[in-house]
């Protein structure tokens, strides 16, 4: 059996160990310290737009914190993109609130502005104004933020951007995650950069970020003893993990180039195959980090499952797209608005190996495995 090719594996630069070493030498082995501060600064500089950053223990924790800051309580309704990873929606349930799922639109695969507005109007008619909107930038592709933000403003509903997969992506030249009231990032092992596990809450509202730091380190009031006037969480990032993050920030621009170049490679290679379509930037306002290269199989000769099994048999990792949340058993009772665009995408969509550490040999092997299967001459 040939060596395994992974979907998206961690890719260290050169400086991560230096920052970790510093943490050990100074004994900052805690969920605070110079690396945490440094990593937050690095992210603030990279994202621009006067954004403030709180480094947390995961993207999921950051989403949970975002909903807490927006005051989401039991019985509230929160709108969420249906096609996403479960971590986008789970924090709604942590708060005892109800998710209301919204379909995707064809060009970005992200939240459909049309169904978003339909959902808002219908929920209001049924007696509850949704308390927040969670929009996701899947696979690095920016959602239609102009329309989504303008709808949200019209109904005065705050927006949380799940940019876990989209660090480095921009819309109209502005970093995704900085359009809404609060954004979140993830540094899980499979993301474009990693801290082994970690996340961040980002906002142009300094008050939110200040409060996120306070609540995520157990909400200790200023007193010599342990005094608490709020429920706290243990969600802060460790100074050791933040050391990895500082090293990774030095190679982030390169990682974006590498992921985008994987996408270009596949695009060129599959141009000759009928029935393979790509998730593409729909226009000049969109810049995707192409975290994962995702394709749709629209061929009469082979299906998504054919290709998935063929790649897996050759020890090449690949995945169907995220299964929509409104089709998940755990959210079976949640309201949903749409015409099943996301379900259709799920049926025919596949994520190809997309790590920034793929070699040309790896890419050639993936492409020739698919060529062999579909019978295109090289
Ligand atoms: C990875 C991911 C998350 C969760 O991030 P963690 O750091 O793994 O908790 C949330 N949303 C999306 C869309 C993701 O891909």
Taking only the tens place, the pLDDT of each residue in 205-224 is 999 999 999 999 999 999 99
Look-up of token digits 């239609």:
144
Quick one: pLDDT at residue 30?
A: 85
Q: How confident is the model over 134-167, as pLDDT tens digits? A: 999 999 999 999 999 999 999 999 999 999 999 9
Smallest CA-to-CA distance from 164 within 56, 254, 79, 257 is with 56
Ligand 1 pocket mutation pick from 188, 197, 198 by most atoms within 8 angstroms of CB: 188
Q: Check: CB of residue 231 under 8 Å from CB of residue 219.
A: yes
Tell me how far the alpha carbon of residue 88 lies from the centroid of ligand 1, in angstroms: 7
Interacting residues of 301 by C-beta distance below 8 A, sequence separation 6+: 275, 374
Kindly give the number of the ligand 1 atom that is closest to the alpha carbon of 58. 7
pLDDT at 270: 95
CA distance linking residue 198 with residue 238, whole number of Å: 9
Domain count, the chain: 2
- Whose Cα sits closest to atom 2 in ligand 1? 164
249, 271, 295: which is the final residue of a domain? 249
This prediction has a pTM of 0.97
**Domain hosting residue 60, numbered range:** 16-249
Write the CB contacts of 198 (distance below 8 Å, at least 6 apart in sequence).
Answer: 55, 56, 57, 58, 186, 187, 188, 237, 241, 242, 245
Task: Tell whether the torsion through CA atoms of 362, 255, 58 and 245 is positive or negative.
Answer: positive
Q: 122 and 32: one domain? A: yes
Pairing of strands 170-171, 286-287: antiparallel
Residue 308 Cα, ligand 1 centroid: separation in angstroms?
Answer: 23
272 pLDDT tier (thresholds 50, 70, 90): confident
Contact 168, 256 (CB under 8 A): yes
Ligand 1 mutation pick, 82, 92, 165, 176, max ligand atoms within 8 A of CB? 165
Residue 188 lies in a domain: yes
What is the reported pLDDT for 378? Answer: 53
pLDDT surpasses 70 at 377: no
pLDDT for 31? 86
Instruction: Find the CATH number of the domain harbouring 303.
Output: 3.90.1150.10
Q: pLDDT tens digit string along 275-307?
A: 999 999 999 999 999 999 999 999 999 999 999
Of the candidates 296, 299, 288, 284, the residue with the CA atom closest to the CA atom of residue 320: 296
Cα-atom radius of gyration of the chain, to the nearest Å? 21
Kind and range of the H or E run holding 293? strand 293-297
| 47: in domain | yes
Q: Give how far the C-alpha of residue 64 lies from the chain's centroid of Cα atoms, to the nearest Å.
A: 14
Same domain flag for 241 and 270: no
Cα-to-centroid distance, 44 and ligand 1 (Å): 20
Strand pairing report for 132-136 and 159-162: parallel
Residue 204 clears pLDDT 80, i.e. is over it: yes
Which residue's C-alpha comes closest to atom 8 of ligand 1?
A: 188
The pLDDT of residue 368: 95
List ligand 1's pocket residues with C-beta within 6 A: 58-60, 84-85, 87-88, 136, 162, 164-165, 186, 188, 199
Distance 225 CA to ligand 1 centre (A): 36
Task: Give the Å distance between the CA of 26 and the centre of ligand 1.
Answer: 31
Which of 54, 81, 87, when mutated, tests ligand 1's pocket best, judged by the most ligand atoms within 8 Å of its CB?
A: 87
The DSSP code for 88 is: G
Q: Residues 329-357: pLDDT tens digits?
A: 999 999 999 999 999 999 999 999 999 99
The answer on 337 and 297 residing in a single domain is yes
DSSP notation for 117-136: HHHHHHHHHTT---SEEEEE
Whether residue 230 sits in one domain with residue 120: yes
Tell me the pLDDT tens digit for each residue of 179-200.
999 999 999 999 999 999 999 9
- For residues 59 and 130, state if they share a domain: yes
Measured by CA distance, the residue closest to atom 6 of ligand 1 is 59
Look at residue 375 in the predicted model and tell me its pLDDT: 84
Determine, yes or no, domain membership for 10. no
**C-alpha 37 – ligand 1 centre gap (Å):** 22
Do 86 and 34 fall into the same domain? yes
Same domain, 32 and 178: yes
Instruction: Identify the helix (H) or strand (E) that includes residue 161.
Output: strand 159-162
Rounded-to-integer distance, Cα 152 and Cα 161, Å: 12
Measured in Å, residue 76 CA sits from the centre of ligand 1 at: 23
pLDDT value for 67: 98
What CA–CA distance (Å, rounded) separates 355 from 373?
Answer: 23
223 in the same domain as 149: yes
Q: Which atom of ligand 1 is nearest to the CA of 190?
A: 1
How far, in Å, is the centroid of ligand 1 from the Cα of 100? 19
* Coil, helix or strand at residue 201: strand
Q: Which of 249, 272, 305 is the last residue of a domain?
A: 249
Q: 299 is written with which tokens? A: 């061929």
- CA of 373 relative to ligand 1 center, distance in Å: 33
| DSSP per-residue string spanning 296-336 | EE--SS--HHHHHHHHHHTTB--EEPPPPGGGSGGGTTS-E
Same domain for 28 and 175, yes or no, is: yes
Paired tokens of 294: 């995702």
- 172 found inside a domain: yes
Write a three-state SS string for 238-297: CHHHHHHHHHHHHHHHHHHHHHHHHHHHHHHHCCCCCCEEECCCCCCCEECCCCCEEEEE
Looking at the structure, tell me whether residues 34 and 151 fall in a common domain.
yes
pLDDT recorded at residue 32: 87
Given a contact cutoff of 8 angstroms between Cβ atoms, the answer to whether 145 and 136 are in contact is no
Q: Are strands 170-171 and 132-136 parallel, antiparallel or unpaired?
A: unpaired
State the Cα–Cα distance between residues 109 and 232, nearest whole angstrom: 36
Give yes or no: residues 75 and 224 share one domain: yes
């Amino acid at each position: 059996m040939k060596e395994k090719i992974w979907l998206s594996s961690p890719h260290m630069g050169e400086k991560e160990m230096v920052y970790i070493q510093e943490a050990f030498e100074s004994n900052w082995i805690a969920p605070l310290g110079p690396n945490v501060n440094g990593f937050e600064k690095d992210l603030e500089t990279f994202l621009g737009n006067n954004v403030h950053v709180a480094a947390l223990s995961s993207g999921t924790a950051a989403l949970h914190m975002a909903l807490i800051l927006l005051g989401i309580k039991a019985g509230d309704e929160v709108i969420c993109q249906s096609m996403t990873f479960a971590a986008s929606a789970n924090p709604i349930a942590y708060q005892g609130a109800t998710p209301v799922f919204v379909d995707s639109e064809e060009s970005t695969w992200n939240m459909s502005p049309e169904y978003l507005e339909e959902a808002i109007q219908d929920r209001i008619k049924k007696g509850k104004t949704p308390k927040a909107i969670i929009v996701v930038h899947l696979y690095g592709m920016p959602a239609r933020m102009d329309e989504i933000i303008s709808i949200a403003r019209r109904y005065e509903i705050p927006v949380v951007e799940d940019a876990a997969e989209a660090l480095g992506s921009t819309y109209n030249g502005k970093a995704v995650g900085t359009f809404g009231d609060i954004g979140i990032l993830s540094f899980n092992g499979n993301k474009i950069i990693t801290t082994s596990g970690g996340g961040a809450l980002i906002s142009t509202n300094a008050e939110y970020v200040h409060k996120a730091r306070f609540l995520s380190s157990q909400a200790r009031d200023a007193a010599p003893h342990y005094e608490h006037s709020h429920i706290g969480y243990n969600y802060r990032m460790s100074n050791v993990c933040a050391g990895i993050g500082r090293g990774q920030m030095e190679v982030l621009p390169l990682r974006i180039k590498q992921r985008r170049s994987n996408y270009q490679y596949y695009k060129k290679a599959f141009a000759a195959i009928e029935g393979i379509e790509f998730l593409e930037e729909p226009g000049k306002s969109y810049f995707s980090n192409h975290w994962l290269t995702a394709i749709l199989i629209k061929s009469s000769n082979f299906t998504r499952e054919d290709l998935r099994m063929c790649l897996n048999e050759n020890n090449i990792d690949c995945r169907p797209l995220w299964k929509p949340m409104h089709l998940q058993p755990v959210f079976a009772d949640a309201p949903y608005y749409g015409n099943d665009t996301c379900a259709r995408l799920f049926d025919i969509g596949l994520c190809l190996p997309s790590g920034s550490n793929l070699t040309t040999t790896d890419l050639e092997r993936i492409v020739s495995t698919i060529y062999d299967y579909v019978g295109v001459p090289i």
